[in-house]
Amino acid sequence: MARSINKLTAREVSALRTPGRHSDGGGLYFRITPTGARSWVFMTAMGGKRCEIGLGSAVSVSLATARKIAAEMREAVVTGVDPRGVIAPKEPERVVTFGTFTDEFISDIEGGWKNPVHRQQWRNSLRDHAKALRDKPVGQIGTDDVLDVLKPIWLRLPETSNRVRGRIERVLAAAKARGLRPKDAPNPAQLRGHLDVLLPKQPKLSRGHHAALPFAQAPAFMAQLRGRPALSARCLEFTILTAARSGEALAAAWEEIDFTQKLWHIPAERMKAAIEHVVPLSDAAFELLEQLRKGQDQPKGRIFAVNGAIRSNMAMSMLLKRMGYGNITVHGFRSTFRDWAGDSTTHPREIIEAALAHTIQNKAERAYRRSTAIERRRQLMEDWSEYLGKPNDTTNSS
């Protein structure tokens, strides 16, 4: 004969995945929502109407505790007492949204990231691409929610979509570790064996190579770029003139600029090789900074920040697309510089490599990083600037 109560076992409760109400008997049900949230409810009749009373999340209420509460409620019903009184009134449980948890999580871990641009990219990508998740309870986010975020960008922006997916996966894993998601629930943002069978195959990503503009086209590009007034255009112009990495330029601070010696001192903690890099500024690069600091004797903070926030690299990438150069990358301009310097100048290789802040194992070549090579590198950067053309100079822009 089937049992009328205590139908479920703890093992069955742990293994259940099918959405709906699963009866334990005597009015007690284990409920799973379509998004995967798991809780206990007690069903009874009050005033001739069917009533559902929540007993709490399965994360905090065990099967044994749920049965104890249900037994007290059945007794209350028999004696004509409102069964809701069995559960003592308590403060409403705080609903933690994905957006709130994400912001707190990034603040907790960003101290381990030396690159401030990396911190901003985490925030921007989850704010912009995962916007649909921000107001959802972090404990109720399921596979369909993640797919809704990824599908619009999965094929169009494969590299971005993979980063977004990985960041969502890490945020949800952290929420699970904090007890905000069921401990036995799989991560809905997991790729292997999960999302990879639900999403189309992406175009193969090119690793270690960044699409670059042929250097013969660089002067015309610069003339077009200088016609744009946006701050992102000035940041890209400065990045190209200094042959810097995008992250180094985006996080550049006024305090790093030596206006007397016309030098940009990038501290070690912001460099890929963790070694301080000194960039001799060409006249064009220096004039760009002078224009940006007009009316400020000693400006402070990030040069290209907006309202104090460091821009995402996407700002310059989107600028390239608007200009009709969506086929190249910001980082690729370093290759443009390297090709020009190697093919069109007589500057020594070690000087070119030092200008790019490439890691050099040879001790003799490494010496060129020091101040003795600054003026030789300054001439290289001035030659590069001359090749690109001065502002309002159309000589090389045909």
Summarised one tens digit per residue, pLDDT across range 352-377 is: 888 888 765 555 545 544 545 888 99
Pairwise CA distance, residues 233 & 315, whole Å: 9
What pLDDT is recorded for position 223? 94
Q: Which of 156, 160, 148 is nearest to 195 (CA)?
A: 148
Please state the φ and ψ torsions of residue 210, each to the nearest 5 degrees: -120, 125
Distance of alpha carbon 7 from alpha carbon 70, whole angstroms: 13
Name the residue type at position 359. Answer: T
Q: Angle of helix 116-128 relative to helix 158-177, nearest 10 degrees?
A: 90
Q: What is the CATH number of domain 215-388?
A: 1.10.443.10
Q: Taking a C-beta distance cutoff of 8 angstroms, is the pair 257, 249 a contact?
A: no
DSSP string, 168-201: HHHHHHHHHHTTSS-TTPPPTT-TTTTGGGTSPP
| pLDDT value for 183 | 84
Residues of the chain with pLDDT under 70: 1-3, 88-93, 114-117, 204-210, 359-372, 392-398
Cα angle, residue 145 at apex, residues 142 and 151 outer, rounded to 5°: 130
Encoded tokens for 350? 């070690």
**CA 316/CA 308 separation, integer angstroms:** 18
Classify domain 10-84 by CATH number: 3.30.160.390
pLDDT digits (tens, 9 = 90+) for 98-113: 999 999 999 888 877 7
Q: CA neighbours within 13 Å on the CB side: how many for 4?
A: 2
Residue ranges of alpha helices (H) inside the chain are 10-15, 63-78, 98-109, 116-128, 143-154, 158-177, 218-225, 231-242, 246-250, 283-292, 314-322, 332-344, 349-355, 363-366, 374-388
List the domain boundaries for the chain.
10-84, 98-197, 215-388
Q: Cα–Cα distance between 24 and 3 in angstroms, integer?
A: 9
Interaxial angle between packed helices 283-292 and 231-242, expressed in degrees from 0 to 180 and rounded to the nearest 10: 150
- How many residues are listed for the chain in this entry? 398
| Predicted TM-score of the model (pTM) | 0.52
| SS3 label, residue 235 | helix
Phi-psi region of 307 (alpha: psi -120 to 50; beta: other; left: phi over 0): left
pLDDT at 211: 79
Contact 388, 381 (CB under 8 A): no
- DSSP conformation class of 87: S
At 323, which helix (H) or strand (E)? none
Alpha carbon 73 to its chain centroid, in Å, reads 48
pLDDT value of residue 394: 41
Q: How far is 233 from 242, CA to CA, in rounded Å?
A: 14
- The rounded radius of gyration (Å) of the Cα atoms in the chain is 30
Cβ atoms of 250 and 266 within 8 Å: the answer is no
Residues 6+ apart with CB under 8 A from 51: 43, 44, 45
**CATH number 3.50.50.60 is the correct assignment for the domain at 98-197:** no
What is the C-alpha separation between 178 and 182, in angstroms, rounded?
A: 10
Q: Are 40 and 88 in contact (CB under 8 A)?
A: no
